[in-house]
A and B are shown apart, each in its own frame.
Chain A
Amino acid sequence: MVSLRRSWIPSLQLLPAGLFLGLFFLIPLALTFVWGFWPRTEFWMEPGVTLEAYRSFVTTGRLAVYLKTLWLSLATVAVALVAGYPVAYYLARKIDGDTAFSLLFVFVLPFIISTIVRTFSWRFLLGRSGPINGVLVGAGAVGQPLDWLLFSDVAVLIGLVTASIPFVVFPVWLSLRTIDASLLEASSDLGASPATTFRRVTLPLSLPGVFAASIFVFVTAFGSTAIPTLLGGGGYSTIGTTLTSVLGVLNYPLAAAISSVSIATMLVLLGLWTYFFDLEQLAAMGGDA
């Protein structure tokens, strides 16, 4: 009797979490997927099966927007990693812990301000009459202000990368901090140069943090609408703004189809992540530093 009760306890403990996930995550996701196949009515949709929403997604330029958003998000990940990894490395390996914590706090500070306000400041900096163009023109580097600094892919990329940097610095810093210093000493003792030690030991061991950062940054960039709209201009399309536009004409099946494709993209990336990197490695990073 006692053993029977014990065998039920783990299952019962999982019940609240299972119910929560089912109600708030799995059922909405499943419904979103199903609605993508329902025929549309004037104001709503009705049960049935049609590929019309997916046909519309592919044939009306929205696929191009999806691919562009994908490209933009991947570019954001790449640039944010290149910019953020050295910062995390410096904080983790080159300075003491207390100073590192203080500097990490500095990275959090801008996030006290709203995304809109932070992004608007880029509008000022990158604008035709902004300080960057002012310096370039003043120094004679360019004959006239650069129009492509604002309302362009470059501007959106700058906005997304700067908004994403903390999502790189924190997980990479955490993964670097958990690397056992004796491994680095062993590499050095065996004659490896600092560059070789970094390439063969430090970088591979920090990859769980790098991939965690990649997912955080990708998700942030892929779902962002404020930054692309403010820095790319009102007509700048991402999958998020396209979704809003489609809802404006009450095309719920198409909105569901776009959402399904977006969610599928995330799931594929998460699948790749878990395939290449055991999630337990990330959990283990929380150990002794």
Chain B
Amino acid sequence: MPNSNRTRRSFTKLAGLGALTAAAGCTSGGGSSGGDETSTDGSAGGDGGSSQQINYGGIATVNAGEWSGFTESSEWGVNFVTIGNSPGDILSTMVAGGGRQNYDLLAPVGGIQPPLVEQGALQPVDTDRLENWDAQYDYWETEQGQAFVGDGGDVYGVPIVWQGDSIAYLPGEVDREITSYGALFDDEFAGRVAIEDNYTTAGQKTAMYLKANDMADIDDPRNMTESEITTVVDFLIEQKQSGQFRTMWSGFETAVSLMSEKEVVVMDTWEPVVFALRDQGMEAEYATPDEGYLLWAMVDYVVNPPDERSQSRTDAIYDFVDWQLSGWYGATITQQTGYMTNPAAVPYAEENEGFDGEQVADIHEGVQRKFDEIGGSWQQRWPDNREAYEEQWQRLRNA
């Protein structure tokens, strides 16, 4: 194993050199599609120059932009680094790259802990050390939810952001309430529909639709066999070739602009897109689908370092996660992103200046309703047949 690890590290270094060479030679005009996905937020530390920092790698959603609520009561600062959310990005970082040395905590959308645990990259979370743990939402305590945050009976991901995804639509352009993913495939909206370029979201929602309406024989939309994902993609290709989709999208800004410019009127997307459209004065709704929501949570993973971590650093990491489960952080993230966080966020937002308590409460109630009353299917981020998923999705893109 040590040899294997050394080889991986060597590869990463050489691959970096290769990428540099390739970038110089191949992408001088436009190789920056992904935008800045690995930038360090230098202002985020807020630790007054403290040399002790918790290295926190997370997707942009979990970045409060201000950590003084934690750092003022701790000897530790916070060094936030934005990371990509795709399983490939995270596994590359943690398994092939030096992520275990570079990060103390990792905060992507959950569900990818099985391969990370298998590679020894994560530590189980001792939830007894988190004072706020018992007060948290417990939606993860279903079979699917446990698979999203745990592995082998242990909890590895502490949920800090919760959501259920469906589809957005513009009531001004769509003269009825949408209650099914079937709207994505309705002739009435042909050419004015977009789906996300992501098989773990658009692919799974389509599978949920086909299964719920007995249109395909799919056992588990969360974890399809090769023939099942092929069936789903065949269906999507048929739709694409008939002109149903205006485009496939990726990235929040693109999603917002597609609807704000009315290029599309029905879209498989994230709920904050609806909030952004409303902020622009547009009428936009997020559907409650009969097939259920695509449920997910962003989680904090405690990274397993290659060398033993000091007790003080371990304590600081747990203190920081505990702080994220409290009112200020929850209210801030809910207000920034439109996602549900932790139960303490609502009273905090209602009792403190600078927050819109009503808005935070509405968002939390809305997401709770998704989990409590409607339900759905938890997103599968690491399907068994992921290679087939990728190949089939490539076929859809090419069609």
Contact = CB atoms under 8 A, between A and B. Distances in A.
Given A28-B21, A31-B14, A129 B29 contact: no
A60 B250 contact: no
Interface stretch (B30-38, B151-159, B217-225, B366-374): B30-38
Interface of A is mostly: helix
A225 B249 CA distance: 14
A245 B33 contact: no
B31 A44 contact: no
Contacts, number: 165
Nearest to A224: B30
B37 to A, nearest CB: 11
Q: How large is the interface on A (under 10, 10 to 19, 20 to 34, 35 or more residues)?
A: 35 or more
Contacts of A43: 91, 95-96, 115, 119
A249 B390 contact: yes
Interface in B77-111: 86-89, 91-92, 95-96
Interface in A235-273: 235-237, 240-242, 244-251, 259, 262-263, 266
Interface centre among A23, A43, A56, A115 (most CB of B within 10 A): A43
Contacts of A28: 14-15, 17-18, 21
Interface centre among B115, B391, B397 (most CB of A within 10 A): B397
A222 interface: yes
Interface in B30-52: 30-35
A65 B96 CA distance: 27
B347 interface: no
A250 B250 contact: no
Contacts of B247: 151, 233-235
B242 interface: no
Interface stretch (B54-62, B256-264, B308-316): B256-264
Given A62-B394, A247-B92, A29 B191 contact: no
A60 B391 contact: yes
A248 B390 contact: yes
Nearest to B13: A28
A216 B26 CA distance: 9
A248 B14 contact: no
Contact of A225 (B18, B31, B394): B31
B396 interface: yes
B261 A128 contact: yes
Given A60-B394, A129-B262, A246-B390, A240 B33 contact: yes
Contact of A29 (B21, B89, B248): B21
B86 A248 contact: yes
A87 interface: no
A27 to B, nearest CB: 7
B360 to A, nearest CB: 31
B25 interface: yes
A153 to B, nearest CB: 13
B196 to A, nearest CB: 7
B248 A234 contact: yes
Contacts of A234: 196-197, 247-251, 254
A163 B30 contact: yes
A71 to B, nearest CB: 13
21 contacts: A24-B20, A24-B21, A25-B21, A28-B17, A31-B18, A61-B391, A123-B257, A147-B191, A151-B246, A216-B28, A221-B29, A223-B22, A223-B29, A224-B27, A224-B29, A225-B33, A233-B249, A234-B197, A235-B397, A249-B88, A263-B22
